Each structure stands twice: as C-alpha cells, then as structure tokens.
Amino acid sequence: MITIYHNPRCRKSREGLALLEQSEKVFKVVKYLEDVLSEKDLKTLISKLNIKPIDLIRKNEAIWKSDYKGQQLTDEQIIKAMQKHRKLIERPIVVNGNKAVIGRPKELILEII
C-alpha cells in the first residue's frame, strides 16, 4: 500500500498528492499535522527514507530558527522536536513498502510507485 504523508496547505504536498491521483494507484493519505506520528513512526519513516533525522527537518520554519538552529542536537532530540512541532517535518513523504521518498521535486515519487 502506498501512503502519502500530506499537508494540504503545502503546495509541494498538493502537487505530490495530485501525482498519486493521476497514477490511479491505490494509496492512503495521512494528514500528519492532524494525525500525530509516534517516535516509532518517525524512526520508521527516517529508516525507509535512508536519511538522518536532521534531513527530514524544514530548516526555514520559524520554530526551527527560534528554538533549535545552531544547537548540537542528538537524533533523539530532533525526532522529539518533530513530534512536538509537526510543521518541522519535510513534505510530502511517500512510502511504498520498504521504500520512501520526500517528494521534492514531485518527480521523485515516480521512482517508488
């Protein structure tokens, strides 16, 4: 099952969702600003993306700049920051089985669907 972690207010996320809709494949939408991701969920996503937690952070978000930028944070602290401030999570994220991509650019989604 394909899953997209989606923020409806984000243009890039909407573009990723549109790409999935056009593919006519079956998929599930997780609005991660509403549906809280657990620490385990985030760790699983990070593992499937094959990245470090810091690479899933939106570093231009005001909350990152004011509360976290310039600090030496552990992976656990970064994951807890994403749990607390879900806007920090890069989007969209598309998962298909054991593979995942951040859909920036949206064409990366095509590689796993």
2: pLDDT strictly greater than 90 = yes
What is the set of active-site residues?
10
93: pLDDT strictly greater than 90 = yes
Please tell me the number of Cα atoms within 13 Å of 13 on its side-chain side: 19
What pLDDT is stored for residue 79 in this prediction? 98
Of 63, 104, 66, the residue nearest 87 (C-alpha): 63
Looking at CATH, the fold of the domain delimited by 2-111 is given as: Glutaredoxin (3.40.30)
Mean residue pLDDT across the chain? 96
Query: Cα dist. 50→24, 45, 67, 68 in Å?
Result: 27, 8, 26, 23
Confidence band of 55 (pLDDT split at 50, 70, 90): very high
- By percentage, how much of the chain surpasses pLDDT 90? 97
3-state secondary structure of 4: strand
36: pLDDT strictly greater than 90 = no
Report how far residue 15's alpha carbon sits from residue 8's, in angstroms, rounded to the nearest whole number: 10
Q: What is the pTM (predicted TM-score) of this model?
A: 0.93
What pLDDT is stored for residue 75 in this prediction? 98
Q: Average pLDDT in the 101-111 region?
A: 95
Q: What are phi and psi of 35, to 5 degrees?
A: -95, 105
Report how far residue 41's alpha carbon sits from residue 65's, in angstroms, rounded to the nearest whole number: 25
